[in-house]
Amino acid sequence: MKKLVTAFAACALAGAVFAQVESVNIVGYATTAINSATWYQIAPTFIPVQGTENDGTAINDIFTTGFVEGDAIYVWNQTTQSYDFYSWLNGPVDGNWETTIAGWADAGGMRTAATLKIGQAVFMRKASAGATTVVFSGEVKSALVTTVPSAAWAQVSLPYPVDTALNDSISWTGFSEGDKVYLWNVLAQSYDLYSWLNEPMDENWETTIAGWADAGGMRTSVALPLGSSMFIYKVSAGDGTFGLVQ
Q: What is the pLDDT of residues 37-61, one digit of tens each?
A: 999 998 888 777 777 777 888 999 9
C-beta contacts of 209-218 below 8 A and 24+ residues apart: 211/167, 211/172, 212/166, 212/167, 212/181
CA separation for the pair 202, 219 (Å, rounded): 6
Which has more pLDDT, 233 or 11? 233
The letter for the amino acid at 18 is F
Q: Which pLDDT does position 150 carry in this prediction? A: 96
Closest CA to 83 of 107, 54, 48: 107
Q: Which of 64, 62, 245, 53 is nearest to 156 (CA)?
A: 53
Q: Which amino acid is at 134?
A: V
| Beta carbons of 25 and 92 less than 8 angstroms apart | no
Contact by Cβ (8 Å): 156, 220: no
Pairing outcome for strands 180-185 and 190-197: antiparallel
Q: What is the pLDDT of residue 160?
A: 80
How many residues belong to the chain? 246
Distances (CA, A) of 194 to 25, 80, 239: 33, 25, 19
Distance CA 69, CA 98 (A): 19
pTM as predicted: 0.83
Which residues, including other chains, have CB under 8 Å from residue 80's CB and lie 6 or more apart? none
Instruction: Write down the H helix ranges in 8-92.
Output: 59-62
Q: What is the pLDDT of residues 90-137, one digit of tens each?
A: 999 998 899 999 999 999 999 999 998 888 889 999 999 999 988 888
How many Å apart are CA 206 and CA 219, to the nearest integer? 10
CB atoms within 10 A of CB 181: 25
Under 8 Å between Cβ of 8 and 49 = no
**Least confident window among 4-18, 20-34, 120-134, 205-219:** 4-18
**Taking the C-alpha atoms of 228, 232, 238 and 240 in order, what is their torsion angle to the nearest 10 degrees?**
-20
Evaluate whether 116 touches 47 at the Cβ level (below 8 Å). no
- State how far the Cα of 126 lies from the Cα of 69, in Å rounded to an integer: 10
